[in-house]
Structure 1
Amino acid sequence: MTVTLGEEIMLLTLDDTSGAAKGESSARWGVTGGILLELVMADRVTVTGGRIEAVDPAPTGDALLDGRLERLARWAGKPAGGGRKPSRGRKAADWLTRDHAHGVQDVLDRLCARGLVTEEKHRALGLFPVRRYPEADGSVERELRDRLASVVVHGAEPDARTRALTALLHAAGLHRQAFPDLPKKRVEPRMAAIAEGQWAGDSVREAILTLQTVMTAVTVVTVVTATS
């Protein structure tokens, strides 16, 4: 079974038993960044100078990615600020901000359809509707964690997709979700080295850096809000 980067990040961040997302805010950005990076790696989208452009509308053959590509192409083709003149290359950070809630739900629906998680609905305090996604089939996640451990902990040479996944996890600050039984200081240097290595094309690298920039901004706002 082939799963996308966004699905892999979602599996890593969902608690197997409760179905709640661990580090929910970071998980949302990581999942959305994973979808974007898939489209960049498939040469459907480019990120240049922090701006995003849909350059090839051809379907990838993956329904999740193709649906997102169609939405992104419509959005990127609209002029920023409501002007009449077409705009080429809107800010990638704006897309991530716009899409991160919808992207997560689409990925969760996909994982349910694959039979990897199951959806449970209940009401918190008897009032507020809550959805949880506990594990239904852990085989894909186990393979994923084994692959990450072999690269990050044991120093194996990663393939391109594992490099991309590791870079995304590092950019989104999801070290603990990827390696819950290890201290961050044990895995962060290796993940950073993989993320910063000379393995990706310019557009892939910029997509990852954009996610890092967005996550840093979100973290700063969260800290300021909490302490004010």
Structure 2
Amino acid sequence: MKTTLGEEIMLLALDDETGVVQERTRADHAVAAATLAELALAGRIGIVDGKVAVHDRSPMNVPALDTALEAIAAHEKPAEPYAWVSRLAGTAVADARRGLLDKGLVREVRKKRWGVFSVSRYPEADGAPEAALRAGLARVVLDGTDPDERQSALLAVVHGAGLHKAAFAEADQRAVARRMELLSQGNWAAVAVRKALENLQIAFIAST
């Protein structure tokens, strides 16, 4: 059962018992950045002159990735990675959530908020894949093992989004940040998600 990088970000961000996303804004943008990173690993997109370019339009037969690829390919003007992180966040999160449900890794629980508004939560249904994911990341970040290509991409996004605590709640956060900064050097996905979040913060400050 292969999970996408976006789904893996969701697994790290979701509280296993309550099904609530931790640091939601950061997590949402991280899922989008992870989707871009996975498309790049598959050779579907790349960065040309600082902007996202489609190299191969052939589908990957993974709904979340194909939806994102189609959106990028259909856009008339090339855009920077951080712009795509912001544009894809909503759709990427919905697709990642659906993927986890379809794989049976989480379950949907509907509740009423204040007795009026219906909200959905996604507590854990099968914890084995997440446990294996966390163990692999811990070997890289905490034990110093060299990461594989997917782990490098995932950790770069986690670092860029500032989701260190979601991934390594019990570890020394300063040591985790130092190690992940080293691993993320030169990774465009880490820069993209960080800049997208910075722009969001600037827009919020301006609006208030």
Q: Work out the percentage of aligned pairs sharing the same amino acid.
A: 36
5 Å-filtered alignment, 1:118-133, equals 118-133=107-122
Structure 1 window deviating more from structure 2 (92-101 vs 175-184): it is 92-101
Amino acid at match of 2:150: R
8 Å CA contact 1:31–1:103 kept in 2: the answer is: yes
Displacement after TM superposition at 1:208 (Å): 3.0
Displacement after TM superposition at 1:183 (Å): 3.3
1:131 partner SS: strand
Displacement after TM superposition at 1:95 (Å): 2.1
Tell me whether 1:207 sits opposite 2:189 in the alignment. yes
The residue number in structure 1 matching 2:146 is 157
Number of positions where the alignment pairs a residue of Structure 1 with one of Structure 2: 208
Tell me whether 1:38 sits opposite 2:27 in the alignment. no
Which structure has the larger Rg over C-alpha atoms?
1
2:180 partner SS: helix
Report the TM-score when normalising by structure 2.
0.92
CA deviations 1:84-111 (Å, max 9, x no partner) are xxx3x12333322122011101110110
8 Å CA contact 2:10–2:97 kept in 1: the answer is: yes
2:97 partner SS: helix
Amino acid at match of 2:121: R
Displacement after TM superposition at 1:212 (Å): 2.0
The residue number in structure 2 matching 1:100 is 89
8 Å CA contact 1:47–1:207 kept in 2: the answer is: no
Listed as ranges, the gaps of 5+ residues in structure 1 are 79-86, 198-204
Report the TM-score when normalising by structure 1.
0.85
Q: CA RMSD in A?
A: 1.8
Amino acid at match of 2:198: T
Tell me whether 1:176 sits opposite 2:165 in the alignment. yes
8 Å CA contact 2:34–2:189 kept in 1: the answer is: no
8 Å CA contact 2:83–2:196 kept in 1: the answer is: no
8 Å CA contact 2:161–2:193 kept in 1: the answer is: yes
The residue number in structure 2 matching 1:69 is 69
CA deviations 1:45-95 (Å, max 9, x no partner) are 122344222221112232321222122211x2x2xxxxxxxx3x1233332
Tell me whether 1:51 sits opposite 2:51 in the alignment. yes
1:194 partner SS: helix
Displacement after TM superposition at 1:123 (Å): 1.8
Listed as ranges, the gaps of 5+ residues in structure 2 are none
The residue number in structure 2 matching 1:21 is 21
